[in-house]
Amino acid sequence: MADFSPVELLELFQRAQAQFTDRVDAVAPDQWDDESLPGWTVADLVAHLVDEALWVPPLLAGEPFDLIDGRFPEDTDDLLGDDPFTGWETAADGALSAFAEDDALMRTVHLERGPTPATEYIFEMTADLVVHSYDLASATDGDTELDGELVTAGLVFAERLPADGVPGLFDPPLEVSASAPPLVRLLARYGRRP
């Protein structure tokens, strides 16, 4: 990966997880059923990232996507358990530990789209955490000011996305000025407006 070294990617991922963790910790008990994105509650958004984090250890261990698919609960309540914060932290700690293994970022993971360098995988996960930190903060009237370096890293990844979005995953990008702040450009690349 020409943009960031493996050590830099791991550090960015760790910071992105911490940024998201802060926003999960700030969710009030009565906000979990609030809408975060169209068709998703705050709980659904956090469960989505719990699910992504749970996939990291088996993927880095060399298991292919099709053998992992269906292994983890699909229900939001089952993914989050009795305490959503603990559910998130446990999954996030497992993902970080897996990425921090000695040669983890030199491996290839077998995603649904095919073999992918682990450096690309952690980069994608970092960008997802950054965007969803904003989504979660927006939905809960939380702190939408994000770490500038993380936003820039997310934007570097987002600029690689297909020009028409990724159907079922990301909306087509919105038009914004090239001089717009990095967060505005990042969100626009994922089809969102601040």
Segment 97-145, tens digit of pLDDT? 999 999 999 999 999 889 999 999 999 999 999 999 999 999 999 999 9
End-to-end CA, the chain? 29
Q: How far apart are CA 181 and CA 69, in angstroms?
A: 38
Residue 111, class by beta-carbon neighbours within 10 Å (0-12 exposed, 13-18 middle, 19+ buried)? middle
Q: What's the pLDDT tens digit per position in 53-80? A: 999 999 999 999 888 888 898 888 888 9
Q: What is the pLDDT of residue 168?
A: 64
CB under 8 Å to 49, separation ≥6 — which residues?
20, 88, 91, 92, 128, 129, 132
Segment 150-179 mean pLDDT = 84
Q: What is the pLDDT of residue 1?
A: 44
Is residue 24 predicted with pLDDT exceeding 50?
yes
Q: What is the pLDDT of residue 51?
A: 95
- Considering only the top CATH level, what class is 6-189? mainly alpha
Q: What is the pLDDT of residue 165?
A: 67
Task: Look over the chain and give the mean of its residue pLDDT values, rounded to a whole number.
Answer: 92
Taking only Cα atoms into account, the Rg of the chain, rounded to an integer number of angstroms, comes to 16
Which helix (H) or strand (E) element contains residue 86? helix 84-99
